[in-house]
Amino acid sequence: MMSLNNKTILLGITGGIAAYKSPELVRQLIKQGAKVKVVMTDAATHFVTPTTLQAVSGNPVFISQWDARIPNGMPHIELSRDVDAILIAPVSADFMAKLSLGLADDLLSTLCLARGHESNGVLSDCPLLITPSMNRQMWEHVATQRSVEKLLQDQVILLGPASGDQACGEVGMGRMLEPVEICEALIAFFQPKLLQGKKVLITAGPTYEPIDPVRGLTNRSSGKMGFAIARAALEAGATVHLIAGPVSLETPLAYSGKITRVNVMSAADMHAAVMAHPDCDLFFSVAAVADWRVNHIAEQKIKKQSASDIPAFDLVQNPDILLEFAKKSVNQHPFCIGFAAETQNLIDHGKKKLLAKNIPLLIANHGPSTFGEDHNQITLIDAQGESHFGPADKISLARDVIREVSKRL
Ligand code: CTP
């Protein structure tokens, strides 16, 4: 899926060593369907050549405000009018200071001051996103932090910086985000803010029910769909709390906020973590919760006594977290969404679960073909009927789910 289709991005490049990553960033943006126009400062040309950027972007590169290639001689006006966002990557400490003061002494700074997006004859604000890159001392300097504060007040969107190894050999805050991360952040920025101000609770992944200190009962859920829902909800402007079973996934990031996360192991832990969060507007119960646990967990590893020895386990049922949470909801608040991974009769089982759990929406999918995969097909089932989405990657499906849920709120 090309998430930046029909978007034109003006990529500004300023003088910093991270400019060597700019051609890769252009490639990433184009891969996502964007049209990219590049404007460089003079200093940037010391780190990467305009020829390279022209080749990868497929468009002429602009550096000087006196560039005569724009017919009316006003590149600082004309270059921003048809763009959906200006992204400056890397942005130097010097350029941030200039932007915060409104200085306009070269093409890129003048263009940022004069920026406007024109559509059907109406001129609106053209968003400005910046990705800082500098030595940690420069980043932490009070003057740079003053620029940051002013730029945030001026609605400039800051992506990063990250912490880590720096080109100068020091380690700390000030690294530019990687091109893939910048591209992801830009995609997130363009998502409609359908859940702005909403509090979203999500469970994801499997649970693990111990038998003894080294063995347990679990299932094949990877948590990818739940984590994709968390990311899509964050992108849509929600405050997200994620309760994750044992998975090896990083907490998703978006440019505009942070997901709070707790890790749990068993269904009982997940149950307690969910019940501790009654104050939410939406509950996505994506986790594949184990239905049973072993009644008495052995304190030591169970040993094989003989060749024919087969241990017997006394299983008890786990609480149904979604059922219990939905029961507490008065007048469908919070709005609860169930997920069902089936092996057969998807729609039938899905409809039964919708009724049994008394929830307004259930999302069914075929378990074995999706566990651990990056792609899926889902069926949304509610009182009105069924709708199918996919096959598609899980983040695209998660965005579809957010859109469909927001219609039902
Ligand atoms: N669920 C839950 N707590 C449980 C079992 C399931 O919260 N103990 C939730 C899941 O997170 C999911 C929905 O209920 O949103 C359906 O889960 P699923 O395992 O498909 O269904 P079950 O109700 O467990 O029924 P069965 O195992 O018989 O298919």
> Does ligand 1 have an atom closer than 6 angstroms to the CB of 354?
no
Q: What percent of the chain has pLDDT over 90?
A: 84
DSSP 3-state assignment of 11?
Answer: strand
CATH topology for the 199-408 domain: Rossmann fold (3.40.50)
Mean pLDDT of 75-104: 96
Sequence spans of domains, the chain: 8-190, 199-408
pLDDT of residue 295: 95
Ligand 1 atom closest to Cα of 362?
Answer: 15
Q: Give the residue among 111, 140, 132, 137 at the shortest CA–CA distance from 185.
A: 132
Question: What pLDDT sits at residue 271?
Answer: 98
CATH of 8-190, one of 3.40.50.1950, 3.40.50.300, 3.30.360.10, 3.40.50.720: 3.40.50.1950
* Ligand 1 midpoint to CA 321 (Å): 8
CA angle 213, 367, 215 (to 5 degrees): 10
For the cut 80, the answer to whether the pLDDT of residue 254 exceeds it is: no
Name residue 341's beta-bridge partners. Answer: 365
Instruction: Find the farthest-apart pair of alpha carbons in the chain and give their distance in angstroms, rounded.
Output: 91
CA dihedral 220, 222, 224, 225 (to 10 degrees): 30
Same fold, 8-190 and 199-408: yes
How does pLDDT run across 98-152, given as a tens digit for each residue?
999 999 999 999 999 999 888 888 888 899 999 999 999 999 999 999 999 999 9
Give the integer Cα–Cα distance in Å for 151 and 148. Answer: 5
* Average pLDDT of span 307-321: 92
Task: Choose, from 112, 168, 183, 280, the residue flagged as catalytic.
Answer: 168
pLDDT for 378 equals: 97
- What's the confidence (pLDDT) of residue 332? 67
Quick one: which of 95, 197, 108, 190 has its CA closest to 147? Answer: 95
pLDDT tens-digit readout, 325-357:
998 866 668 999 999 999 999 999 999 999 999
For residue 113, give both structure tokens. 């001051």
Active site residue 336: no
Query: How crowded is residue 106: how many other Cβ atoms within 10 Å of its Cβ?
Result: 20
Binned at pLDDT 50, 70 and 90, residue 305 comes out as confident
Q: Is 219 in the pocket of ligand 1 (CB under 6 A)?
A: no
So what's the pLDDT on residue 343?
93
Mean of the per-residue pLDDT values of the chain: 94
Question: 156-165, 204-213, 395-404: lowest mean pLDDT where?
Answer: 156-165
Task: Return the pLDDT at 87.
Answer: 98
